[in-house]
Amino acid sequence: MNIDELKSVARAIVAAQKGILAADESGPTIKKRFDSIKLECSEENRRRYREILFTTVGAERYLGGVILYDETLRQSSAEGIPFAELLTRRGIIPGIKVDGGAKPLALHPGEKITEGLDGLRERLQEYAQLGAKFAKWRGVIEIDATDIPSSYGIRANAHALARYAALCQEAGIVPIVEPEVLMDGAHDLARCEAVSSQVLQAVFDELAAHGVALEGMLLKPNMVIAGMNSPQQAGTREVAEATMRCLKQHVPPAVPGIVFLSGGQSAEDATHHLSAMNQLGPFPWQVSFSYGRALQAPVLESWKGLEQNVAEAQKIFLRRCELNSLACAGKYNSGMESGAI
């Protein structure tokens, strides 16, 4: 493991108010997204859609990295430039989702465990050859008001995340460690904070036990937020304060960056929360974004699979990237949604 190399990649991804575009939807997930705009989920449509995102001029000012899916890492632009190379040429670091998705955790109804460790060492070697410099593994933590997650469910996911992270570093790839406490449910913010706290504690315990170098990784957590069906939705400042309180307690300063997932929040909420958190800084780590839906939903809606909409869709994408970059400095306000900066 070349720790200096890992460190410099991890830092570059979150340098200068940059964040990550998560464009690593698996086959079934991208189909769901395309269904929402009534677009056929063909390989060419998936390629074209990713090409629209990756060729948006100016996005390199706001994006330090893009997470790809296996199929996407093997695809190329219309001119035949492999996507990993196209991004690298533009100064954006390509990464790869390597988990095999979350499956039901045996004997623990309602909980999940992420698969994909078998053969991961070999897959990482191939991904490194294809140009990936970092990877992502998502652990899914289901949550209810009382019993879920169990301490075993948390431990099992934390253990898998740490095994993945160690394999990545061995292969010279920066691991993004993503323990996601879901937003689904009617639990309140305090419950999300308590569970997120247990999860982060377990994750950093396991990372230490596996010998993972914290300087050469990024953490991708959920924000501390009330469940989508909770009658008590917290305000922006409350979310920001609870999230930062939780992270400060559990994330060692050696970690170079925290890159949040958006998890089903609206694009505006995700940007607003990120900005409010950065207003509470400074922090020992960069506090940035690794959004999927919060960057892409407005783009998909505008594109609708039609070539004549590409320029407008790219304009919208660039603007979302820019607003989230401003949020990394705590400089976003909702008035910017309509007007010029």
Q: Residues interacting with ligand 13P, by CB under 6 A? A: 22, 138, 178, 261-263, 291-294
- The reply to whether 193 belongs to the active site is no
- In one-letter notation, the amino acid at residue 223 is M
Which entry of 178, 180, 193, 322 is annotated as an active-site residue?
178
Q: How far is CA 65 from the centre of its chain?
A: 10
Give the Å distances, CA to CA, from 227 to 232, 261, 263, 318. 9, 15, 11, 30
Which entry of 25, 111, 220, 322 is annotated as an active-site residue?
220
State how far the Cα of 306 lies from the Cα of 47, in Å rounded to an integer: 14
State how far the Cα of 29 lies from the Cα of 156, in Å rounded to an integer: 24
Nearer to ligand 13P, 65 or 216 (CB): 65
Instruction: Look up tokens 């937020």; give the residue.
Output: 225
CB atoms within 10 A of CB 139: 25
- The reply to whether 331 belongs to the active site is no
Beta strands per DSSP E along 25-108:
63-68, 93-97, 102-104
Nearer to ligand 13P, 66 or 162 (CB): 66
**C-alpha neighbours within 13 Å on the C-beta side of residue 45:** 17
Nearer to ligand 13P, 24 or 306 (CB): 24
**Token pair belonging to 60:** 């390199």
Residue 339 per-residue DSSP state: S
Nearer to ligand 13P, 22 or 124 (CB): 22
Nearer to ligand 13P, 180 or 193 (CB): 180
- Cβ of residue 92: shortest distance to ligand 13P, in angstroms? 16
- Tell me whether residue 4 is exposed, middle or buried, using C-beta atoms within 10 angstroms of its C-beta: 0 to 12, 13 to 18, 19 or more: exposed
- Cβ of residue 261: shortest distance to ligand 13P, in angstroms? 4
Which residues, 6+ apart, have CB-to-CB distance to 322 below 8 Å? 61, 62, 341
- Cβ of residue 257: shortest distance to ligand 13P, in angstroms? 15
Residue 304 per-residue DSSP state: T
Give the Å distances, CA to CA, from 195 to 108, 120, 209, 274, 299. 17, 29, 21, 20, 33
- Cβ of residue 333: shortest distance to ligand 13P, in angstroms? 21
Nearer to ligand 13P, 95 or 149 (CB): 95
- Cβ of residue 114: shortest distance to ligand 13P, in angstroms? 10
- Cβ of residue 240: shortest distance to ligand 13P, in angstroms? 17
Catalytic residue numbers, as ranges = 178, 220
